[in-house]
Amino acid sequence: MLFNSYSFVVFLFVTLFVYYLPFARRFQLLSLILASFYFYAFLKPILLVLLITSILFNTSVSWVLERNSPKRWVTLGVVFNLLLLCFFKYASLIVKTFVDESSSGGLSSFIVSIPLPIGISFYTFEGISLLVDSYRGKTSSTKVTGNTFVEHLIETTHFVSFFPHLIAGPILKAHDFYPQIKTKYLKDIDWNSAFKNVVIGFFLKMVVADNLKEYTGYMSYPYFENLSSPTLIILMLGYSCQIFADFAGYSLIAIGIAKLFGYDLPTNFNYPYISQSFSEFWQRWHISLSTWLKEYLYIPLGGNRKGNNRTYLNLFLVMLLGGLWHGAGWNYAVWGMIHGVALGLERLLIATNESSIKWIKYLRRGAVFMIVTVAWLFFKLPNFTQALLYIKKMGTNWHLPFIPGIREVYVLIFCMAVALYHLYYLWKGERKFPKLEMILLAIMLFFIMTNSGFQGDFIYFQF
């Protein structure tokens, strides 16, 4: 079910109404769980089987871990989650890479044809978080000593399936979410924050991202081969703004909706395109993923505690795996490697602390933004060679005539919306302008109602 659909609006109001019924207050978690299952199974009910299997397994193992903490159980649990993710997400990549499908019979064809269950990358990482946190003892403080397995099952099901974050995050950590599980009251809703997040989120998705996608479609192979270099650069900038607006929009909507139910989800985007370094970029972009990778992968690998060479290797491995987390394709691995190498070189050669000299700040921001933007080509174009060809054509198609048309003008207009979004943050700093913000929200609402693009999936649904 899409956030930007009329069916979701009806679903949301019905769920909120039932959730806050005074006589049904003791059943709040159960009502949310049922609503979340309905939300997830809306288009493909069969996917619910895999979600419930994951929940039951992680509930059982975490229950054991909180009481006995044997290391073999956490190892077993993490391996199971990774195998589940690898089978549904990476088996087809392995078959395509190492197996001759024409001579291997029907098994390889079957594996290649297995669809990717929506949201599996997100709820698998949340399952791992639960197991590791249970082993470390972080979640034990959130439990009453006499908790039953049924209570733990209900809480864990709610943690994993809570519908605002279920399909595309933010990725939740058990030790952050479990303390919030308690009875919620209508009077405690932070309406202002919920409204602000939802409006900005829908504006970024429906007005910016959905309109940009109509024009960035021209980046597909072989259409881009005959476009001029300036047009190719403009379209590339358009996709960079589209993927930000699409994913940041989803995250803001999810955070706003969660607040309506009394839950605080972690901030997932913090104006990433103002970053002066790649390390800062990953403190601002998809924060829930970058912090998950740091806490559950980078630090356990040794982080920066085992010498410079090991630090560079850890950075590279974490970003490579972070790239593959996004999709079963070598283009995603290359994207991860680009960021891994950039982080390593930055650490080796350049001081990453913020500079007080303005022109250096602007130079750093421009360089980081352009490298990040070029790297997004490996997201947009599914074939590695196509992405390289696009980069080549940006440098060689200057001989083709450049006649700015509606396509280029509209792309730049919607890119300007993303630029203004970041510039406003830089301008206001710590200051607050409540009246100005209400005016801006009203303008966004107007554009949502009058200039929304064609309804489409969120880009991160495919991951």
- For residue range 149-175, list pLDDT tens digits in order: 899 999 999 999 999 999 887 999 988
Q: Where are the alpha helices (DSSP H) in 219-357?
A: 229-260, 278-284, 287-293, 308-326, 330-349
> Does 326 participate in catalysis according to the annotation?
yes
What total of structural domains would you count in the chain? 2
> CA–CA separation, 183 vs 105, rounded Å?
55
Residue 314 exposed, middle or buried by CB count within 10 Å (0-12, 13-18, 19+)? buried
184 and 217 in a single domain? The answer is no
For residue 410, pLDDT over 70 is answered with: yes
Summarised one tens digit per residue, pLDDT across range 386-396 is 999 999 999 99
Q: Is residue 67 part of a domain?
A: yes
Give the DSSP H or E segment for 186: none
pTM of the model as a whole: 0.91
For residue 18, pLDDT over 60 is answered with: yes
240 and 220 in a single domain? The answer is yes
Q: Closest Cα partner for 316 from 291, 332, 298?
A: 298
162 and 197 in a single domain? The answer is no
Structure tokens at 439: 């005016």
Pick the residue with more confidence: 4 or 417?
417
Q: Is residue 390 part of a domain?
A: yes
Task: Indicate which residue of 165, 326, 339, 422 is catalytic.
Answer: 326
Q: Is residue 181 part of a domain?
A: yes
Name the residue range of residue 130's domain. Answer: 6-188
Summarised one tens digit per residue, pLDDT across range 188-229 is 999 999 999 999 999 999 999 999 999 999 999 989 999 999
16 and 119 in a single domain? The answer is yes
Q: Is residue 378 part of a domain?
A: yes
154 and 265 in a single domain? The answer is no
Summarised one tens digit per residue, pLDDT across range 357-371 is 777 888 999 999 999
> CA–CA separation, 375 vs 216, rounded Å?
15
- For range 329-342, the mean pLDDT: 90
CA separation, residue 410 to residues 208, 212, 413, 416 (Å): 10, 8, 5, 10
238 and 140 in a single domain? The answer is no
Last residue of a domain, one of 134, 163, 188: 188
183 and 196 in a single domain? The answer is no
- The percentage of the chain sitting over the pLDDT mark of 90, rounded to a whole number, equals 57
Q: Is residue 150 part of a domain?
A: yes
Last residue of a domain, one of 188, 217, 252: 188
For residue 447, pLDDT over 90 is answered with: yes
Q: Is residue 76 part of a domain?
A: yes
